[in-house]
Amino acid sequence: MNRKSVFETEHPYGSAVGKLIGEFSRLPGIGKKSAERLAQHVVSCHPEEAKDLANAISEVKSTIHPCPKCFFLTDQENCSICSNPSRKQNVLCIVEQSKDVVALEAASIYDGVYHVLGGKISPLDGVGPEDLTLNALIRRIRNDGIEEVVMATNPTLEGDGTALFISNLLEAESVKITRLARGIASGSVLEFANREMLADALRGRQEF
């Protein structure tokens, strides 16, 4: 598929601006009008500002990688959470994606560490348990003295299924398994939960 042809727009300033409008349109929540306004801003802004923006985009892609321990994204060798000595290293919160960690961290109500699965079990999308970071999870639980695992997958069909699968997987391990209380509304996604909902959910976590 030549995906550029779909997004590229003709523009009186020339193809470079048309291309930029096309690229902006691909961003989430940016329609054609907004993309045009953003491109116009880039055209007329200080060259230094445009350079900063382009560099910031490139730098993110070149420096960000998953933490080798918990798979949360980081630009350091280990992520800021794993390498923070004041975090409880024996409480492990399991989430689907890095952005779920960002949501939980923004609420600043959790002081343990995380494990990012890299997705959820979803047969319809062809994602099975082997596509998640489950081997690394079991290794951590066995070797790192984890005492409690907090399931924080999204409260959706696939998220619940993934949590259930993992809790079965961990049955043989000597670890307490809890899950977030249903302060979070079923069917919604963790990424957009507010501080109160997340706090309720963490405080009221129950035996799995």
The candidate with the shortest Cα–Cα distance to 166, out of 137, 124, 187, is 137
- Distances in Å between the Cα of 197 and the Cα atoms of 171, 185, 193 are 29, 8, 6
* Binding region for a copy of itself (CB under 8 A) out of 7-15, 129-137, 142-150, 170-178: 7-15
Q: Are 195 and 104 spatial neighbours (Cβ–Cβ below 8 Å)?
A: no
Least distance to a copy of itself from the beta carbon of 184, Å?
19
Give the per-residue contact string, 9-48, with a copy of itself (x = CB under 8 A; - = no). --xxxxxxx-xx-xxx-xxxxx---x--xxxxxxxx--x-
Of residues 90-149, those binding a copy of itself (CB under 8 A): 97-99, 101-102, 105
What is the distance between the alpha carbons of residues 199 and 192, in angstroms, rounded to a whole number? 13
Q: Which of 76, 135, 168, 194 binds a copy of itself (CB under 8 A)?
A: 76
- Distances in Å between the Cα of 26 and the Cα atoms of 4, 16, 17, 22 are 10, 16, 14, 7
Asked whether position 176 contacts a copy of itself by CB under 8 A, the answer is: no
Q: Which residue, 26 or 203, has its beta carbon nearer to a copy of itself?
A: 26
Size of site (CB under 8 A) for a copy of itself: 57
Least distance to a copy of itself from the beta carbon of 174, Å?
30
What is the distance between the alpha carbons of residues 58 and 77, in angstroms, rounded to a whole number? 19
Of residues 49-68, those binding a copy of itself (CB under 8 A): 49-61, 63-64
Q: Which residue, 47 or 187, has its beta carbon nearer to a copy of itself?
A: 47
Asked whether position 187 contacts a copy of itself by CB under 8 A, the answer is: no
Q: Which residue, 43 or 185, has its beta carbon nearer to a copy of itself?
A: 43
Note the residues at the interface with a copy of itself (CB under 8 A): 4, 11-17, 19-20, 22-24, 26-30, 34, 37-44, 47, 49-61, 63-64, 72-76, 79-81, 97-99, 101-102, 105
